[in-house]
Amino acid sequence: MNQITENTPVSNPPLILAVDDNPRNLQLITSLLSQNGYKVVVANSGENALKYLSLKQPDLILLDVMMPEMSGYEVCEEIKKRPELVGIPVIFLTAKSELSDIVTGFRLGAVDYITKPFRGEEVLARIKTQLELQGNRKELEQKNNALKELSTELERKNELISQEASKLRTAIAEKDRFFSILSHDLRAPLAGFLAGTELLENNIKNFTTEEAALFISTMADSARQLNKLLENLLSWAQLQLGTLKPKPENIDLSGVADSVVRVYQSLATQKNIALENKISLSTHAFADYQMTTTILRNLISNALKFTPRGGKISLHNYPADKGMVSVAVSDTGIGIGEEILANLFRIDSKVSRRGTEGEASSGLGLILCRDLAARNNGTLSAMSKEGQGSTFVLSLPEAD
């Protein structure tokens, strides 16, 4: 006699596992269920039932209590221990009809308890009810899972919205700062330039050659300040709009530094500041030439502003992480206080200061330098103490 027997109708109805050690009982329940459109699998012992359950999961289990070796209670207890089986409804179908037996069955996790001899209509009604409940539970579980997925997706989208909102707030703050710089820092040099031209225009005949030359020199300084500020503003605006794209190439950082030093050597001489390029000839980076030049130009210009007469500015190599090359611009200037240093690269914080001889500083140059370094997969950092000079370190990808 087969230990497990499967009766398979043509259709694909709910699958029911019937477990009983009595062949006659199995025959009766199989006949009843098959005639009413159910697919039936039978097992003649608890051990065989568990073996089958390890291979396939039915929609419902009909379980006898009094079986040799392993009782129906023990089978039910084992089923409820297994996570993959715990959700299958179990109905006890047994001759044990004492209240204590029924209570034990429900305590072990059964959903119903039918006593023998059973009535077919009652068995069919209870099976139908439990299968409908099981179907409703599965449907509810699926909907809960769908809701969880939807909730997770909503949380993810809310996070994205929050991030975009944060970016928008930052962009608005940067825009406000941008216009603040335009309104504040353009005003002084432009006013000086206009005042000088008007004074010369109206009183040129009253000035000596030396006086006129002094006015023209002042106007030229104002024009240079305006030109540098406008260049930085234009570059920064292009970066924000995404129109300024880096074109990385193998560049000689020592050569770039030499060209920038030559531009500022005259100004350094006027302030009696020693300006030296000590960057090794073998220092090569993979970056945009013009952007790198702009960074070093701004760093040297700032160092000249904040270094008093008789000071020293040097460009030199700096320890770098693997795959990177670093150069530094160090000065013996007035240094930077902790509060200003913490906000040095933030456009939403005003950190501009006057130079040692009253030179104007918008603060935008360093922000531009940071963004240019980032666009070249590099970084710009600052180290300073008030009264002890400053060091700005530019790190860029090392050339192959």
User: What phi and psi values does residue 62 have, to the nearest 5 degrees?
Assistant: -100, 125
The Cα 169–Cα 351 span in angstroms is 20
Highest mean pLDDT among 185-189, 226-230, 386-390: 386-390
Q: Are 153 and 145 in contact (CB under 8 A)?
A: no
The average pLDDT across 90-99 equals 91
pLDDT in tens, 365-374: 788 888 889 9
Per-position DSSP letters for 26-37, written without gaps between them? HHHHHHHHHHTT
- Give the start-to-end residue ranges of the domains of the chain: 4-139, 245-400
Which ranges of 36-119 does DSSP label H, i.e. alpha helix?
Answer: 46-53, 72-81, 99-107
More confident site: 239 or 31:
31
Q: Does pLDDT of 358 surpass 70?
A: no
Distance CA 96, CA 65 (A): 7
- pLDDT, position 9: 46
19 DSSP 8-state letter? E
Asked if pLDDT for residue 10 goes beyond 50, the answer is no
| DSSP secondary structure code for residue 356 in this structure | T
pLDDT at 60 over 90: yes
Residue 198 — very low, low, confident or very high, per pLDDT cuts 50/70/90? Answer: confident
The residue whose two tokens read 């073998």 is 282
Q: What is the CATH number of domain 245-400?
A: 3.30.565.10
Q: What angle do CA 107, 108, 111 make, to 5 degrees?
A: 80
In which band, very low, low, confident or very high, does the pLDDT at 317 lie, cut at 50, 70 and 90?
A: very high
Q: Tokens at residue 345, please?
A: 């690269």
- Rounded CA separation 376/292 (Å): 9
Q: Which two tokens stand for residue 257?
A: 């530094």
Matching CATH number, 4-139, of 3.40.50.1370, 3.20.20.70, 3.40.50.2300, 3.40.50.300: 3.40.50.2300
Give pLDDT tens digits for 145-159: 999 999 999 999 999
- CA–centroid distance for 14 within its chain: 47
Q: What percent of the chain has pLDDT over 90?
A: 52
In this model, does residue 2 exceed pLDDT 50?
Answer: no
Q: Write down the pLDDT at residue 1.
A: 41
Q: How confident is the model at residue 331 (pLDDT cuts 50, 70, 90)?
A: very high
Buried (b) or exposed (e) across 52-79, using 16+ Cβ within 10 A?
bbeeeebbbbbbbbebeebbbbebbebb
Give the C-alpha distances (Å, rounded to integers) separating 69 from 74, 75, 93, 107, 397.
10, 11, 18, 21, 75
Contact (CB, 8 A) for 288 and 247: yes
Higher pLDDT, 191 or 335: 335
Per-residue pLDDT of 96-138, as tens digits, reads 889 999 999 999 999 999 988 889 899 999 999 999 998 898 8
